[in-house]
């Protein structure tokens, strides 16, 4: 693989596509675009989408150093800070209307985490101290209102009264804790610590690594359990391949940012095990792409856009940690080829969300909605460009 192909996809496809989603009238970015990339200006604006767009432009600016990208990040930041933050109870809403009024006022730890992730990245790009202060405000919301003695809880009403976790529970269960939320709280705190090196954030980050090792990771199956009750009892036999391979490299990133050899040694069995488990069980060997998940022994073979993006990074990271495992590098390369052949929409440059069959791809799927964003595919381009630049 060559870094130029990832950089080119970022510069020529993804950035121009998302530039067209800028809402000049009400601020932020449009919350929906159909399969042709046509935006619907009247749709709600998901706050996760807003945060991920802010992160995307901030991180793209850090890589490319183009002022226009920083201006787009500022545009996203203003909308987030002015319309998505609850000035009365703290934290960010789940969604707002197209013109920035609160819509779904649910507070979710997952959503708070992405706001921290984005604001920290924006501060790193811009030096805007108000963004860092807001990131810490939301960090304190999580630590004061979304945590119990066992770890991180999930869903709350606007005033942080407990609520059902319907937004991040799937597969017929209602979870009180999820691997997914813990993963992205860890990711957010990694970015925050990288930006500001707070001892308190470091302490929380190390505790999260301990939760992954002791509560989330299953060393026998070499996978992360996904949905839990309050006591970390697993609620379902489910292997989510995208989350496993994403966790493998995000855990390593957290260890790198912490700079602790003891953390690296403690977490390497988890990191290596996750890569091995996904390589053995998650790959469609015919198409060489990553399947979605396996529930109670039944394989879901849908090829989901973000799962493929995380596989490219995750397997490349696994190869960097274990250079003797050349098959990991090959896996990263071949999944990237699958993406280029089937997932990237040739008309818009964005990615098709779900592929059930490669001979009958549904190109009518929305290219933008509250969960469909430039975070996974944009991050893949940024990560791979940086990683390949370090190769001799």
Please give the average pLDDT of every successive group of 10 residues along the chain, which has 392 residues. 93 98 98 98 98 98 98 98 98 98 98 98 98 98 98 98 96 96 98 97 98 98 98 98 98 98 98 98 97 98 98 98 98 98 98 96 97 98 96 74
Distance from C-alpha of 99 to C-alpha of 93, rounded to nearest angstrom? 14
Question: Reduced to 3 states, what is the DSSP secondary structure of residue 341?
Answer: helix
Amino acid 3: pLDDT: 85
Q: Give pLDDT, residue 298.
A: 98
Task: Supply the pLDDT for residue 255.
Answer: 98
Between the alpha carbon of residue 200 and those of residues 203, 205, 344, the distances in Å are 5, 9, 41
Burial of 329 (0-12, 13-18, 19+ CB in 10 A): middle
Place of tokens 């183009």: 66
* Residue of 245, 243, 250, 242 lying closest to 267 (CA atoms): 250
pLDDT given at position 335? 98
What pLDDT is recorded for position 11? 98
Q: Which residues, other chains included, contact 233 with Cβ-Cβ below 8 Å and sequence gap of 6+?
A: none
Report the candidate in 150, 222, 144 with the shortest Cα–Cα distance to residue 182.
Answer: 150
Residue 164 to residues 4, 94, 108, 186, 282, Cα–Cα distance (Å): 45, 14, 10, 22, 31
- Tokens representing 54 are 């802010």
Strand (E) positions, 45-194? 45-46, 95-96, 102-104, 107-108, 147-148, 151-152, 155-156, 177-178
Predicted local distance difference test score (pLDDT) of residue 390: 87
**Cα→Cα distances 267→161, 282, 317, Å:** 34, 22, 14
Q: Number of C-alpha atoms within 13 angstroms, CB side, residue 322? A: 18
Task: Classify 65 in phi/psi space as left (phi over 0), alpha (psi -120 to 50) or beta.
Answer: left
Q: For residue 226, give its domain range.
A: 3-389
CATH number assigned to the domain comprising residue 371: 1.50.10.10
Looking at the 3D structure of the chain, how many domains does it have?
A: 1
The candidate with the shortest Cα–Cα distance to 267, out of 281, 282, 253, is 253
Residue count of the chain: 392
3-state secondary structure of 279: helix
- In this prediction the pTM is 0.98
Close Cβ partners of 299 (under 8 Å, ≥ 6 residues apart): 291, 293
């Amino acid at each position: 693989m060559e870094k130029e192909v990832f950089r080119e996809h970022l510069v020529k496809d993804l950035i121009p596509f998302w530039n067209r989603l800028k809402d000049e009238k009400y601020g932020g970015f449009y919350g929906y675009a159909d399969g042709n990339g046509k935006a619907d200006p009247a749709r709600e604006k998901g706050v996760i989408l807003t945060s991920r767009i802010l992160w995307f432009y901030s991180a793209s600016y850090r890589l490319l150093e183009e002022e226009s990208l920083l201006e787009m990040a500022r545009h996203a930041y203003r909308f987030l800070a002015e319309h998505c933050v609850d000035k009365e109870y703290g934290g960010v809403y789940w969604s707002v209307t197209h013109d920035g009024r609160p819509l779904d006022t649910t507070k979710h730890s997952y959503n708070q985490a992405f706001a921290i992730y984005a604001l920290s990245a924006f501060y790193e790009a811009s030096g805007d101290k108000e963004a860092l202060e807001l990131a810490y405000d939301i960090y304190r919301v999580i630590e004061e209102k979304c945590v119990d003695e066992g770890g991180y809880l999930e869903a709350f009403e606007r005033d942080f009264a407990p609520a059902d976790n319907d937004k991040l529970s799937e597969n017929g269960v209602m979870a009180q804790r999820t691997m997914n939320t813990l993963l992205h709280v860890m990711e957010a705190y990694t970015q925050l610590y990288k930006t500001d090196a707070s001892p308190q954030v470091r302490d929380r980050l190390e505790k999260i690594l301990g939760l992954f090792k002791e509560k989330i990771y299953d060393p026998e199956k070499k996978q992360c359990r996904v949905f839990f009750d309050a006591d970390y009892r697993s609620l379902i036999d489910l292997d989510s391949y995208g989350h496993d391979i994403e966790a493998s490299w995000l855990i390593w990133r957290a260890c790198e940012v912490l700079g602790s050899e003891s953390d690296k040694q403690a977490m390497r069995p988890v990191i290596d095990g996750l890569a091995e488990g996904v390589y053995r069980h998650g790959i469609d060997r015919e198409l060489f792409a990553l399947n979605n998940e396996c529930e109670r022994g039944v394989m879901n073979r849908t090829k989901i856009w973000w799962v493929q993006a995380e596989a490219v990074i995750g397997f490349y990271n696994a190869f960097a940690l274990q250079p003797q495992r050349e098959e990991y590098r090959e896996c990263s390369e071949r999944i990237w080829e699958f993406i280029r052949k089937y997932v990237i929409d040739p008309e818009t440059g964005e990615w098709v969300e779900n592929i059930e069959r490669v001979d009958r791809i549904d190109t009518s799927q929305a290219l933008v909605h509250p969960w469909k964003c430039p975070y996974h595919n944009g991050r893949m381009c940024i990560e791979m460009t940086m990683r390949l630049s370090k190769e001799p």
